[in-house]
Structure 1
């Protein structure tokens, strides 16, 4: 799906309308893309419950393997630095 390009002023002015469209938006300033806005659909109770359960399962797995989330983040950052060289 192609992002709709809009200037930053238009983005501010038409924000409510742009959000309701559901399409990704590339926000530009002086013709250069400065960011993207990707609207999400509202989550119903079942989706939120599924996310909660997934989060609990992840926490359990990390605890069982004695892995800290900070260690995973540090490893990820290290791998990204290696990959950018």
Structure 2
């Protein structure tokens, strides 16, 4: 998954929207959202898009070490983004 800043996403939106890469959108070093292409070239159904979203969420949880609850809190726009220490993976 590629990480891009808000400004880069805005400036290159046409290119990113035409692509099929999942993006993590960041502001000031904090992930504030994800762009998950629906796959216009694949013309999948809603169920397929939902399955792809689930796979992406699982990958994000695995890569970040966040729980589902922590991830959902990051996207609760009524709260500020919580500061949290970086978790080190064992191994």
**TM-score, normalising length: structure 2:** 0.44
TM-score (norm 1): 0.47
Q: Which structure carries more helix by proportion?
A: 1
